[in-house]
């Protein structure tokens, strides 16, 4: 089936009508607030409790969830990984859009949704670290995009 990335306002739409994702392999990229819009469940602060909830919901939705946070949590309902590679300054507007684009690009190359989430968060985070080294807290999402080729060259 087709794979799609669902982010931002579209997450809330699926929360209101789960039939939208019936025939696709969805990768959701919510932060905690968007996760609440999707599921109606508030996430606790403790990372281990968050992992359990993310895994349960990924299984329930037959999808992959990439929860953005201090540590990203990625699960497809069976497997679970954490990504710790990024800088806390990455809460600047647009970095989540960059992540969604990276995951979408990986999906288009035939990479499975779970691994696209894992690889995507790593690439995004690594590019964010490089952008922070150059621009400190002035780094923008566009600066992060410019660092992606260097990250790919280093790790692929």
Task: Examine the pLDDT at 32 and tell me if it is beyond 90.
Answer: yes
The closest alpha carbon to 20, from 33, 4, 43, 34, belongs to: 4
Q: Where are the domains of the chain?
A: 2-155
Q: Which CATH number fits domain 2-155: 3.40.50.300, 1.10.238.10, 3.10.110.10, 3.40.1190.20?
A: 3.40.1190.20
Tens digit of each residue's pLDDT (9 = 90 or more) over 34-85: 999 999 999 999 999 999 999 999 999 999 999 999 999 999 999 999 999 9
Cβ(107)–Cβ(3) under 8 Å? yes
């Amino acid at each position: 089936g087709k794979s799609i990335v669902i982010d931002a306002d579209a997450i809330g739409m699926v929360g209101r009508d789960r039939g939208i994702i019936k025939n696709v392999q969805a990768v959701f990229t919510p932060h905690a607030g968007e996760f609440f819009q999707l599921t109606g469940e508030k996430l606790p602060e403790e990372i281990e409790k968050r992992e359990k909830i993310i895994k349960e919901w990924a299984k329930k939705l037959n999808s992959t969830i990439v929860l953005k946070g201090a540590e990203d949590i990625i699960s497809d309902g069976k497997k679970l990984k954490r990504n710790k590679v990024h800088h806390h300054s990455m809460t600047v507007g647009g970095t989540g859009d960059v992540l969604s684009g990276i995951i979408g690009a990986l999906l288009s190359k035939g990479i499975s949704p779970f691994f696209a989430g894992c690889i995507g968060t790593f690439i995004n985070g690594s590019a964010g670290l490089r952008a922070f080294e150059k621009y400190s807290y002035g780094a923008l999402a566009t600066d992060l995009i410019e660092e992606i080729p260097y990250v790919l060259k280093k790790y692929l």
